[in-house]
């Protein structure tokens, strides 16, 4: 068992994510390396100043551009859109591990009779055209679907995608274009058996993946375990016990936190490094609203003293901050939050407001660091400089 101070625990997580010290990840190879480490990056289509996966990567990967992610997904085919923690981006190499999920979608789906009646037709259209969107199919019959009734074209394409017949070929905005998986994934991957022979093996793999995605996790109810089916307390205990017994995880006791935390055994060298308490160069970065680090917000509150709630689905009168607000990381602390908006027509980044946490000292260095961070963020969004400030001008040079 390891014993860490609160500061050491923060340094461990930030070092693992490449968010403190020199950049660990760079360019397209850095994107791949981070996704492999994290297992997945959660996807969300809202684009106020970059979509969630792009925001995750811009804070960690030196030189990251949106085009890098697009190419890795839809040209290089080294990454894949699929379900992990909700809809996510995963490494294509992990396709074989999700065969249980694809089988479950095959066996449990709505409007299956209606869908099956048009599957062959959709396959023939895709073979002719290469890819299709729901708009390309004249299947306007309404059928029962998960959120509400929808067109048969959408239900059929999504069913075939969920169960692995199709992959997303590319996107235009939020419109998905689907292609046959067999045309774009290697045959050996399509035919590969699930490496996890038992349900327990599968759950161990998924939980270990989530621990690696965050860095440290505890054995308690957590949003970090979303989309792992039937993962109740008894099953959770069984999985953590098995991971400890086979040496996949290590116990970590953190100052001021009652519950035991766990890290991946492969991160022991990183734990050893933070125990030496090295001097680490701090960076100032904007984090994504669904950033892997923030998956367990109670844990982040315990470690960083930062209470974060994404208010995008909160009615405006009830919001404490704003619609699309990003946490600000500075050094080893989460010091506040900011609401940036990419004003695409004007080509400028607008800082609608900045809120610093109580007790944060506003020094000239902090002002300079925030200014540099916003400049980099404006360039990431393709905006010209200078950026514009609506609220929080006194916090900038």
Per-residue pLDDT of the chain (397 residues; tens, 9 = 90+): 999 999 999 999 999 999 999 999 999 999 999 999 999 999 999 999 999 999 999 999 999 999 999 999 999 999 999 999 999 999 999 999 999 999 988 887 887 888 898 999 999 999 999 999 999 998 889 887 887 888 999 999 999 999 999 999 999 998 999 999 999 999 999 999 999 999 999 999 999 999 999 999 999 999 999 999 878 888 999 999 999 999 999 999 999 999 999 999 999 999 999 999 889 999 999 999 999 999 999 999 999 999 999 999 999 999 999 999 999 999 999 999 999 999 999 999 999 999 999 999 999 999 999 999 999 999 999 999 999 999 999 999 9
Assign 3-class secondary structure to 213-238: HHCCEECCCCHHHCCCCCCCHHHHHH
Tallying the residues shown for the chain, one arrives at 397
pLDDT reported for residue 232: 84
Domains of the chain: 102-191 (no CATH), 309-395 (3.40.630)
pLDDT reported for residue 112: 80
- Give the whole-angstrom CA distance, residue 38 versus residue 175: 26
**Residues 6+ positions from 380 with CB-CB distance below 8 Å:** 50, 58, 64, 65
Which DSSP letter does residue 103 get? H
2 token code pair? 């390891």
DSSP string for 242-255: HHHHTTSEEEEEET
- Cα 92 to its chain centre, rounded Å, is 16
Contact 134, 174 (CB under 8 A): no
- Give the whole-angstrom CA distance, residue 33 versus residue 23: 12
pLDDT reported for residue 115: 83
First to last CA, the chain: 46
CB burial readout 287-303, b (16+ within 10 A) else e: bbbbbbbbbbbebbebb
Contact 132, 118 (CB under 8 A): no
Query: Residue 334 burial by CB count (10 A; 0-12/13-18/19+): exposed, middle or buried?
Result: buried
Q: What sign does the CA torsion over 82, 88, 89, 90 have?
A: negative
- Give the whole-angstrom CA distance, residue 209 versus residue 225: 10
- Give the whole-angstrom CA distance, residue 232 versus residue 230: 6
- Give the whole-angstrom CA distance, residue 36 versus residue 165: 24
Angle between helices 66-74 and 27-38 (to 10 degrees): 70
Contact 240, 207 (CB under 8 A): yes
Query: Residue 113 burial by CB count (10 A; 0-12/13-18/19+): exposed, middle or buried?
Result: exposed
Contact 352, 334 (CB under 8 A): no
């Amino acid at each position: 068992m390891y014993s860490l101070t609160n500061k050491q625990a923060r340094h461990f997580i930030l070092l693992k994510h490449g968010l403190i010290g020199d950049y660990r990840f760079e360019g397209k190879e850095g994107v791949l390396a981070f996704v492999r480490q994290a297992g997945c990056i959660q996807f969300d289509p809202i684009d106020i100043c970059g979509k969630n996966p792009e925001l995750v990567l811009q804070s960690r990967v030196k030189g990251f551009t949106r085009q890098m992610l697009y190419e890795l997904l839809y040209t290089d085919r080294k990454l894949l859109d699929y379900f992990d923690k909700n809809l996510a981006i995963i490494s294509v190499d992990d396709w074989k591990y999700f065969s249980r999920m694809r089988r479950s979608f095959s066996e449990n789906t709505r409007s299956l009779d209606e869908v099956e009646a048009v599957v062959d037709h959709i396959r023939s259209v895709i073979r002719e055209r290469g890819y299709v969107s729901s708009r390309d199919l004249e299947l306007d019959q309404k059928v029962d679907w998960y959120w509400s009734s929808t067109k048969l074209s959408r239900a059929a394409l999504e069913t075939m995608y969920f169960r692995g017949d199709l992959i997303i070929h590319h996107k235009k905005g939020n419109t998905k274009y689907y292609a046959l998986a067999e045309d774009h994934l290697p045959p050996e991957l399509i035919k590969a058996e699930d490496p996890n022979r038992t349900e327990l093996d599968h759950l161990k793999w998924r939980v270990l993946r989530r621990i690696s995605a965050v860095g440290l996790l505890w054995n308690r109810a957590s949003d970090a375990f979303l989309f792992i089916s039937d993962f109740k307390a008894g099953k959770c205990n069984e999985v953590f016990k098995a991971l400890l017994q086979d040496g996949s995880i290590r116990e970590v006791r953190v100052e001021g936190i009652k519950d035991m935390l766990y890290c991946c055994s492969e991160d022991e060298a990183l734990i050893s490094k933070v125990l030496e308490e090295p001097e680490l160069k701090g960076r100032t970065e904007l984090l994504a609203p669904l950033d892997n680090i923030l998956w367990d917000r109670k844990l982040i509150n315990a470690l960083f003293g930062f209470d974060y709630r994404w208010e995008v689905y909160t009615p405006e009168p009830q919001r404490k901050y704003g619609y699309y607000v990003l946490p600000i990381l500075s050094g080893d602390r989460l010091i506040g939050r900011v609401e940036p908006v990419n004003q695409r027509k004007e080509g400028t980044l607008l800082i609608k407001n900045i809120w610093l946490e109580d007790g944060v000292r506003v020094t000239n260095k902090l002002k300079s660091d925030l200014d540099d961070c916003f400049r980099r963020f404006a360039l990431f969004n393709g905006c010209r400089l200078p950026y514009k400030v609506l609220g929080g001008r006194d916090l900038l040079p």
